[in-house]
Amino acid sequence: MVKLHTSLGTITLRIDEQNAPKTARNFLDYVASGYYDNTIFHRVIAHFMIQGGGFAPGMAEKETRPPIENEGAQTTAAGLRNKRGAIAMARTSDPHSATAQFFINVVDNDFLDYTAPTAQGWGYCVFGEVCEGMDVVDKIRAVATGRRGFHQDVPIQEVIIERAELC
């Protein structure tokens, strides 16, 4: 379990090391190293997802470790889906580019699941779910957002992950 202590409350995550071994290990390593402490949810789209884990307050992008392999094929087969409350890895247009940034689905987003090993079909690898604190997630999705440099959908009032705790 991982607890994200945010400025709007605590989100508790159950991480699925069995079905998403590499993705879970990557996330837990970032948690254990304190990487997520004092980072922000920098991309909030109310009817879609909330994304964080890559920027310090002030939109300062953090250095990451190398990207990981997309395990979407096996996690989708194991029943891990991008439904409301599921946590998955964010990435660039390259399917195997996930590093530290993750997102929590706030609605069912079936179209994000793996369907085929193609640019459109790789999907986004789910590796856990919110088991407590969905009300906090809903508070975050409801914040006002705006544009900041290259980034859109940035909360105007920062939502900070003060500490990520392994428990």
Partner 1 sequence: MAARAQRLIQRFPEPIIHFIADLHLAPETPGALAIFERFLAGEARHGSALYILGDLFDVWVGDDDRRSGQRVIAALRALTAAGVTVGLIPGNRDFLLGTRFAAASGVERLADPSRLELAEGPILLSHGDALCTADTDYQAFRRQTRDPAWQAAFLARPLTERRAIAHRLRADSERAKPAKSWASMDVEEAEVCALLRAQRAKRLIHGHTHRPGNHVLDIDGQRAERWVLGAWSEEQGDALRLQDGVLTRLTLA
Which residue in the set 91, 129, 159, 164 belongs to the binding site for partner 1 (CB under 8 A)? 91
| Total of residues contacting partner 1 (CB under 8 A) | 29
Of 58, 1, 7, 17, nearest to 163 (Cα)?
A: 7
Instruction: Pick between residue 6 and residue 51 the one whose CB is nearest to partner 1.
Output: 51
> Which residue is associated with the tokens 């379990």?
1
- The answer to whether residue 134 forms part of the interface with partner 1 (CB under 8 A) is no
Nearer to partner 1, 33 or 152 (CB): 152
Binding segment for partner 1 (CB under 8 A), chosen from 3-11, 12-20, 31-39, 98-106, is: 98-106
Q: How far apart are CA 121 and CA 35, in angstroms?
A: 30
Does 19 contact partner 1 by CB under 8 A? no
93 lies in the site for partner 1, by CB under 8 A: yes
- Least Å distance, CB 49 to partner 1, is 7
**Closest CB to partner 1 among residues 6, 109:** 109
- Cα–Cα distance for residue pair 106/104, rounded to 1 Å: 6
Nearest to 31 by CA among 128, 106, 120: 128
How far does CA 51 lie from the centroid of its chain?
5
Q: Judged by CB under 8 A, does residue 36 bind partner 1?
A: no
On whether the CB atoms of residues 137 and 129 are closer than 8 A, the answer is no
18, 66, 144, 150: which one binds partner 1 (CB under 8 A): 150
Q: Can residue 47 be called a binding residue for partner 1 (CB under 8 A)?
A: yes
Residue 75 has which token pair?
A: 């996690």
The amino acid at 54: G
Question: What is the spatial distance between Cα 139 and Cα 46, in angstroms, rounded to a whole number?
Answer: 10
Q: Where does this chain bind partner 1 (CB under 8 A)?
A: 43, 45-49, 51, 54, 90-94, 97-99, 101, 103, 109-112, 119-120, 124, 147, 150-152
